[in-house]
């Protein structure tokens, strides 16, 4: 009897224990659910599958294109799925994340932040020991570094920022009250992405949905360019299925930026295509001014002012207007600031500005015009220079380009590109297509400044037959017209034999050098090992100027006894200051104003203070004052 009641008591205890467990589990799951409810719109892929909608209407078109134009990426091996994917699913070490509504409940990681500022938000448990906190900080720094490697920006910071964050107003006050014409065309915003981070991709989508008026926004068309990362698969499809007006299509081949946009264009139905990078944030009122300019002239291709989202802190930095897009003789694109334009004409603040080229971040174009002018060059692969090709083509074949200042969109500029190029020369091959299709004899100027492209071109013939046919059938103008009419500000190098190339110093066996990172304002010249790549190319022209760099806007100048580079335009009025004479027999390069000779001094030993550089000295016949211009690309060109 006693034994039986003992057993019963034990059973009772067990039951009570079980019930206790169940209650605790229930309480915990309730807590968890409330948490996930609060964070429904927080960054990060849905952890639990969202409810499926009955029959997803046109939700996901898997594109298995047999269009040869789309097959160009075929030989690019798909990039491996990364282990770091896991990172995106690591729950925040502080437990709950800031919900979108609590905008300022996170702290930003500032560039060069000290240890303290890397802690975002107070620890959830006040008693957390210092050692544990330090350990977690270490873990977090690790996560940031790995995310940086993977994406080229600090995704950990991005993940803590609302997908609906409000941006500081950056528009000119006169833009705010602007009236637009009544009936604007509809727009399809085409967003191509390849292995984009969840937070930046979805912030782009929400930003468009939150800012573009419904009556003009036909759709947001997401085009997955064969992403490998897990969060962009079903998680994304599910998420998108709950968003009104957003479609997702996936390519089964890696198409590259241009190919992916062309694919998006074939599926888009809006009258205007807005190609947008997958890491952008739009200012209020960004879409209407773009649509209006296109409505007035269907051959206009337009871009907003591209503000800059910092890759480290995700701060929004407004770009100074006026600005326009240009490219240099290495066929690299950049935004060029023209503050002097504004001084001349205060009206400029809200007037669109014609632009020789537009960047790829956001560009809007009439859908029919896009198709008829030849979409993107299908021969260009992966990434690079496709926006320059589009720019030259649009201008040469009857269209125009402009930046519209009342429209502003922020673009995340990465610290480095995340793509592992299967072939280092892809960018050069894209540029070669531009040179061969569009630049006529001016292509030589490019090849001299990019010798790698020159050597590739010598052994390969790009297949540009179709593009040349297109150029003929559209009756496009030649590059001379482009240079003189659209971009007359671009200096046209003379590149005379024996007076252009690398400036080689006989005495030191090195070349005159100006490291690229030093910028367009100029600075001291160096001597450095000759690169042979074209990066040290200069051009002594018939005016006696030694023009440097891919834009040719920097001139060899003097500052005391040092040879420096300065903007040619700033000293052209001082006679002789920028003039040099090359004496072929002695190899001397004589500065006309001072009648001193250019001398190369090699840095000695590992002195802390740099003693090397280019100097002006009394003329002698010392080998350090002997120079010759070494042309790496034969005068006949490619």
- Reduced to 3 states (helix: H, G, I; strand: E, B; else coil), residue 91 is coil
Q: Which among 178, 157, 165 is positioned nearest to 99, based on CA atoms?
A: 165
**Count of positions on this chain that bind ligand UDP (CB under 6 A):** 18
SS3 564: strand
Contacts with Mn ion, 467-506, as mask; x by CB under 5 A: ----------------------------------------
Distance CA 234, CA 46 (A): 10
Residue 275 or 447: the one with the smaller Cβ distance to Mn ion is 275
Nearer to ligand UDP, 253 or 457 (CB): 253
User: Is residue 278 close enough to count as binding ligand UDP by CB under 6 A?
Assistant: yes
Give the chain's count of helices (H) and strands (E).
17, 26
- Exactly one of 257, 390, 464, 597 binds ligand UDP (CB under 6 A); which one? 257
Please say which residue, 387 or 437, places its beta carbon nearer to Mn ion: 387
Rg (CA), the chain: 30
Q: Which stretch binds ligand UDP (CB under 6 A): 253-261, 453-461, 480-488, 603-611?
A: 253-261
Minimum separation from the CB atom of position 256 to ligand UDP (A): 4
d(CA 380, CA 378): 5
Q: Find the binding residues for ligand UDP in span 202-241 (CB under 6 A).
A: 225
Report the DSSP pairing between strands 500-505 and 537-540.
antiparallel
Q: Decide: is 277 part of the binding site for Mn ion (CB under 5 A).
A: yes
Q: How far is CA 583 from CA 503, 590, 593, in A?
A: 14, 8, 16
- Token duo for residue 391: 């720019």
Closer Cβ to ligand UDP, 78 or 515, answer by number: 78
- Residues 614 and 580 sit within 8 Å (Cβ to Cβ): no
Point out which span in 138-146, 414-422, 437-445, 451-459 binds ligand UDP (CB under 6 A).
414-422
For the stretch 359-371, what's the b/e string if a residue is b when 16 or more beta carbons lie within 10 angstroms of its beta carbon? Answer: bbbbbbbbbebbe
> Quick check: 264 binds ligand UDP (CB under 6 A)?
no
The CA angle 206-107-416, to the nearest 5 degrees, is 65
User: Which secondary-structure segment (H or E) carries 589?
Assistant: strand 588-591
**Cis? peptide before 322, omega within 30° of 0:** yes
CB atoms within 10 A of CB 112: 7
Residue in this structure with the two tokens 């210092």, named with its chain if needed: 130
**Nearest to ligand UDP of 414, 571 (CB atom):** 414
Instruction: Choose between 359 and 534: whose C-beta lies nearer to Mn ion.
Output: 359
Neighbours of 488 (CB within 10 A): 10
Nearest CB to ligand UDP, comparing residues 276 and 530: 276
Beta carbon nearer to ligand UDP, 38 or 414? 414
Closest separation between CB of residue 337 and ligand UDP, Å?
19
Tell me, residue by residue from 158 to 197, as one string, x for binding to Mn ion by CB under 5 A and - for no binding. Answer: ----------------------------------------
Backbone angles phi, psi at 293, to 5 degrees: -65, -35
| Interaction partner, residue 545 (ligand UDP, Mn ion, none; CB < 5-8 Å by kind) | none
The option from Mn ion, ligand UDP, none interacting with 194 (CB < 5 to 8 A, set by class) reads ligand UDP
Please identify, among the stretches 153-161, 189-197, 346-354, 578-586, the one whose residues bind ligand UDP according to the rule CB under 6 A. 189-197
- Residue 110 φ/ψ, nearest 5 degrees: -90, 150
Give the strand pairing for 554-559 and 562-567: antiparallel
* Contact yes or no for 365/271 (Cβ under 8 A): no
Helix 198-211 and helix 234-241: axis angle, to 10°? 20
Q: In terms of CB distance, is 43 or 361 closer to Mn ion?
A: 361
Number of residues engaging Mn ion in binding (CB under 5 A): 1
**From ligand UDP, Mn ion, none, which one binds at residue 417 (CB under 5 to 8 Å depending on kind)?**
ligand UDP
Q: Which of 150, 194, 430, 451 binds ligand UDP (CB under 6 A)?
A: 194
Distance set, CA 241 to CA 246, 251, 419 (Å): 8, 18, 28
Query: How far apart are CB 361 and ligand UDP at their closest, in Å?
Result: 6
Given a contact cutoff of 8 angstroms between Cβ atoms, the answer to whether 191 and 249 are in contact is: no
Site for ligand UDP in 324-383 (CB under 6 A): 360-361, 382-383
Of residues 333 and 491, the one with the C-beta less far from ligand UDP: 333
Q: Pick from ligand UDP, Mn ion, none: which does 165 bind, CB < 5 to 8 A by kind?
A: none
- Interaction between residue 193 and ligand UDP (CB under 6 A): yes
Strand 627-630 and strand 613-617: the pairing is unpaired
Minimum distance from CB of 204 to ligand UDP (Å)?
8
Closer CB to ligand UDP, residue 193 or residue 479? Answer: 193
Q: Which residues contact Mn ion by CB under 5 A? A: 277
**Interaction site with ligand UDP (CB under 6 A):** 192-194, 196, 225, 254, 256-257, 260, 277-278, 360-361, 382-383, 414, 417, 419
């Amino acid at each position: 009897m006693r034994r039986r009641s003992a057993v019963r008591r034990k059973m009772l205890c067990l039951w009570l224990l079980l019930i206790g467990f169940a209650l605790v589990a229930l309480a915990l799951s309730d807590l968890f659910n409330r948490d996930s409810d609060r964070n429904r719109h927080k960054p990060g892929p849905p952890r639990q599958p969202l409810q499926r909608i009955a029959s997803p209407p046109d939700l996901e078109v898997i594109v298995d294109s047999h269009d040869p134009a789309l097959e160009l990426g075929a030989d690019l091996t798909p990039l491996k799925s990364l282990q770091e994917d896991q990172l995106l699913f690591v729950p925040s070490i502080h437990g709950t994340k800031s919900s979108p509504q609590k905008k300022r409940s996170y702290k930003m990681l500032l560039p060069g932040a000290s240890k303290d500022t890397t802690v975002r938000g107070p620890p959830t448990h006040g008693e957390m020991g210092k050692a544990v906190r330090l350990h977690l900080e270490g873990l977090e720094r690790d996560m940031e570094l790995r995310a940086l490697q993977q994406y080229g920006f600090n995704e950990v910071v991005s993940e803590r920022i609302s997908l609906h964050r409000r941006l500081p107003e950056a528009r000119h006050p006169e833009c705010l009250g602007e009236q637009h014409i009544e009936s604007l065309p509809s727009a399809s915003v085409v967003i191509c992405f390849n292995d984009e981070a969840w937070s930046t991709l979805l912030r782009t989508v929400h930003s468009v949905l939150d800012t573009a008026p419904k009556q003009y926004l036909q759709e947001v068309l997401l085009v997955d360019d064969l992403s490998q990362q897990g969060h962009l698969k079903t998680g994304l499809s599910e998420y998108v299925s709950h968003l009104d007006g957003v479609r997702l299509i996936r390519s089964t081949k890696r198409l590259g930026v241009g190919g992916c946009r062309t694919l998006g264009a074939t599926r888009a139905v809006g009258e205007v295509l807005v190609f947008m990078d997958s890491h952008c944030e739009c200012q209020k009122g960004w879409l209407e001014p773009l649509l209006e300019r296109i409505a007035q002239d269907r051959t206009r291709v337009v871009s907003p002012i591209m503000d800059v989202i910092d890759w480290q802190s995700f701060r929004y930095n407004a770009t100074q207007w006026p600005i326009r897009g240009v490219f240099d003789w290495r066929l690299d694109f950049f935004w060029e600031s023209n503050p002097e334009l504004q001084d001349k004409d205060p009206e400029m603040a809200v007037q669109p500005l014609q632009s020789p080229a537009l960047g790829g971040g956001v560009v809007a174009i009439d859908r029919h015009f896009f198709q008829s002018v030849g979409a993107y060059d299908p021969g260009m692969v992966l990434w690079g220079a496709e926006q320059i090709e589009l720019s030259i083509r649009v201008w040469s074949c009857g269209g125009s380009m402009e930046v519209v200042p009342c429209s502003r969109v922020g673009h995340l500029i990465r610290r480095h590109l995340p793509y592992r190029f299967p072939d280092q020369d892809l960018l050069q091959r894209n540029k070669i297509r531009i040179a061969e299709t569009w630049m006529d004899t001016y292509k030589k100027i490019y090849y001299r400044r990019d010798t790698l492209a020159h050597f590739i071109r010598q052994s390969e013939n790009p297949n540009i037959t179709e593009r040349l046919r297109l150029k003929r059938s559209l009756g496009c103008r030649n590059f001379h017209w482009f240079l003189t009419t659209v971009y007359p500000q671009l200096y046209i190098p003379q590149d005379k034999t024996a007076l252009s190339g690398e400036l080689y110093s006989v005495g030191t066996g090195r070349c005159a050098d100006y490291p690229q990172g030093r910028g367009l304002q100029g600075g001291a010249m160096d001597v450095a090992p000759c690169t042979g790549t074209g990066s040290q190319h200069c051009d002594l022209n018939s005016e006696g100027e030694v023009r440097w760099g891919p834009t040719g806007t920097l001139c060899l100048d003097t500052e005391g006894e040092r040879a420096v580079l300065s903007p040619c335009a700033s000293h052209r009025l001082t006679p002789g200051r920028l003039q040099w004479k090359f004496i072929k027999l002695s190899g001397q390069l004589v500065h006309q104003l001072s009648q001193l000779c250019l001398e190369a001094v090699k840095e000695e030993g590992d002195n802390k203070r740099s003693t090397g550089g280019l100097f002006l000295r009394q003329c002698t016949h010392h080998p350090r004052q002997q120079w010759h211009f070494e042309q790496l690309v034969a005068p006949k060109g490619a």
